[in-house]
């Protein structure tokens, strides 16, 4: 058996000073993430979106390539995101970087923590 495994890019980030109006409910985020999935020709296997009472949401999108997740705290103008795509059938590192940039642009704010891992 040959070892053709190619490590994928995994980005973990915390954004602070985020536009509060984007953090309360998931509706517009859900539309954006579906557009990004289609634009990068990814396969959505199922998603869970949940608005919290009092504001904030969590979203997890399971992809055949792996996942994208977001958790928001409007009371702190903060969110955490986790984006990982494997490189099993094609190299997706550029897609990970572009999705991160699109989400950073959408939410605004500043990057507080950023970890990029090849795995």
Task: Give the chain's domains with CATH numbers.
Answer: 9-118 (3.60.90.10)
Closest CA to 65 of 42, 47, 82, 49: 42
pTM over the 0.85 mark? yes
Question: How many Cβ atoms are within 10 Å of 13's Cβ, its own excluded?
Answer: 18
pLDDT in tens, 72-112: 999 999 999 999 999 988 999 999 999 999 999 999 999 99
pLDDT in tens, 18-29: 999 999 999 999
Q: How confident is the model at residue 31 (pLDDT cuts 50, 70, 90)?
A: very high
Mean of pLDDT values over 44-59: 97
Alpha-carbon gap, residue 110 to 85, rounded angstroms: 23
Q: At 72, list the tokens.
A: 């928001």
């Amino acid at each position: 058996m040959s070892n053709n495994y190619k490590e994928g890019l995994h980005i973990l980030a915390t954004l602070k000073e985020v536009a509060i109006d984007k953090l309360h409910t998931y509706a517009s985020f859900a539309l954006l993430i579906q557009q990004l999935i289609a634009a990068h020709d990814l396969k959505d296997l199922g998603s869970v979106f949940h608005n919290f009472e009092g504001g904030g949401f969590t979203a997890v999108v399971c992809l055949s390539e792996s996942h994208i997740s977001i958790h928001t705290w409007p009371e702190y103008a903060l969110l955490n995101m986790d984006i990982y795509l494997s490189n099993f059938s094609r190299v997706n590192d550029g897609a990970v970087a572009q999705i991160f940039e699109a989400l950073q642009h959408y939410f605004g704010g500043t990057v507080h923590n950023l970890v990029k891992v090849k795995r």
